[in-house]
Chain A
């Protein structure tokens, strides 16, 4: 086994896999260390929507770049069920209309093409959506991918460069020498590299702390449900309209995977699920199951007799402003790319690009200061 590499990436979720691919493509010998199995934590649990719709105004250029990068990856390696199916965000009440229109205005100004549809127009796109909604926004360019296969594809890209992937290696501490990063200690021994990128999701903060780097990341419970596979019944990604005024009134995502399984989740009550420990993965809670099934059947009443098959819970990494922490941190040679906030899949390729550009000293395609690792400390000081 390679005990020395140019760069070590800690974590083989989608962010780690994308970072490994980006670094391997720029010619580095990369070693990816994964404590569990690749994509086995929150990446694999993700509904992996690739889109720009109702996300974050300031991040729109980066999100647009990311969507194109995913489409490009699909052209190069079409092995992860990339499907540009479009995205609907339904409005349950008239008072959501203003928020929908505001988002549409912002996105159209950025050159995107979302629109507001009435229920009949919605049904023309999504015939099974017969529930009593008042309208829905439509973002035709949103896509979905199979999260496991996307991680696998990115690792394949990395491995076809010069990366190695080691599963079952828990990184316990960062190793520094003379104020520079020198490698990591793991359950399989020490690995050396002058560059270490922590892409460990909710575990990132604890590992960074071993080099006295404090990161404001908290783990938050993410839950999901899946039915048995069935004939095509849902064509698009269906979500709830994002509420006005920055207060998140909840979260819904519903889609049908290539396997035929309907994947869905709804979180009510402010849209924030309980924090917890990523070490102990609990079962889904009762209220979550109720709200998710209730919302699915409100929209798609014909699915009432379909069998539920599986549920899962993972922990996502959340930062105070819901944006990634991506860039250099602490000792020279240490980088961080974490803080998915539950929508990390689309952003992963952009975060990988920022890390690569920071290491290579090249210019990123979009502004990277939004993700500056030290931004909260700087704000607190100001």
Chain B
């Protein structure tokens, strides 16, 4: 975002210092920080991807974040879910995550939900500006996709397993754009989630970081995003590849809602 001179800057001196390195970027600037301050993002899933994502967004200048996750912290989470420690085992992820990111940025507004995201609980996203899917299973991802189409919200999706990841931006706030189900229509969770498979901790960090980057770019209307593209990440061979996603005219989700 171009940094134009303005007479009325709403940022405090403290904010100008806190966000100095973002303000110095031509792509963000003071106008960008002021705009981000007005934005409300929902992060669904506070696992390996959601933790670094919440960290970066909480310190970026976003005004309000709603954290949604029904899980409690387990010992096996600690290898990659970097907001939690051994002292947090048995506690709700959203409780610990909200406390941690509020400490990182006291001016951030944080809301939490311990309800599992599904069709019946989906209205929680109706007043947000963007939804980020950092969950770990296909059924929740399809529910998020349907809800973002219903409430016309941009959806940013990130996934990781073993040493491979995928990221995409679905403009479910726009008409005639491809949705998550145009890409994935009949996936079985057993083969694609991390319930029984390994996942490289630094991969989930990288996916979370890229999701935070795409969120900021979409909110500030930057041009080159992963809109209607799928970024394939192969950390084992360190290969990145982009694939274009086109709308499936037979998609039973975005053509029906």
**A-B complex is real:** no
Which residues of B are in contact with A by a Cβ distance under 8 Å?
none
